[in-house]
Structure 1
Amino acid sequence: MDLNAYQQAALRTAAPKDKPHEVFHLLLGLVGETGEIAEKAKKIVRDHDSDFARWDVDDLAKELGDTLWYVAVLADHFGLELDDVAERNIAKLADRQRRGAIRGSGDDR
């Protein structure tokens, strides 16, 4: 599926942009969904000696999908197309790789 097509489909289930506090709702939702993924990873570390082969991949796909929904709707809220967000990210990473700056920390490395 094309990312912009996904974004448009996701928007069919989103609240209106002018709903009070909607950006805050989207940000909290994004953090919550990524937290659910982290929580499941923590349980694999705790209960299964970090054997990530034990991860329920279907469940992970659902949680990643929920995360993607929030990213798509949040991007639209600020007038960004998901294809453009993805392209910018790949260009940023390629530039870091070219410069040997993949590792390390900081947004502007």
Structure 2
Amino acid sequence: MNLNDYQEKALLTASGRAKHNEFFHLVLGLVGESGEIAEKVKKLVRDHDSNLDKVDVDDLKKELGDVLWYVAVLADFFDLKLEDIAQANVDKLASRQKRGKLSGSGDNR
């Protein structure tokens, strides 16, 4: 499945743009799902001394899927396609690498 196919399928389970405050719902959902991943990492640090062998990969896969769903639907809210976003990101990173700007800070490196 390519990214745009995934996005189309994800949208079948979305509320739709007409719902009041849908943009905010999507952003907060994305933050919440990302927070669930952070919580799992926190427990890995706390309970397992950061031992990566203790990562529940199947659980992580589910949480990453939830993050991807929110990214896909949020992108569609602004008529953006996931494949276009992915390509733009790869292009940006390649440009930074070519210019020796992968590390550092700032959005426009």
Tell me the TM-score normalised to structure 1 length. 0.98
**Map 1:14-93 → 2, pairs under 5 A:** 14-93=14-93
Equivalent residue letter for 2:15? A
Deviations 1:55-85 (A, max 9, x none): 0000000000000000000000000000000
Aligned to 2:104: 104
Give the total of aligned pairs.
Answer: 109
Aligned to 2:6: 6
RMSD: 0.5
Distance in structure 2 (CA, Å) of the matches to 1:98 and 1:52: 32
Distance in structure 2 (CA, Å) of the matches to 1:39 and 1:52: 15
Moved more, 97-106 or 1-10: 97-106
Distance in structure 2 (CA, Å) of the matches to 1:16 and 1:52: 38
Deviations 1:24-76 (A, max 9, x none): 00000000000000010011011111111210000000000000000000000
What is the deviation of 1:105? 1.1
Distance in structure 2 (CA, Å) of the matches to 1:41 and 1:50: 8
Identity %: 65
5+ residue gaps, structure 2, are none
**Runs of 4+ that moved beyond 3 A:** none
Distance in structure 2 (CA, Å) of the matches to 1:105 and 1:43: 28
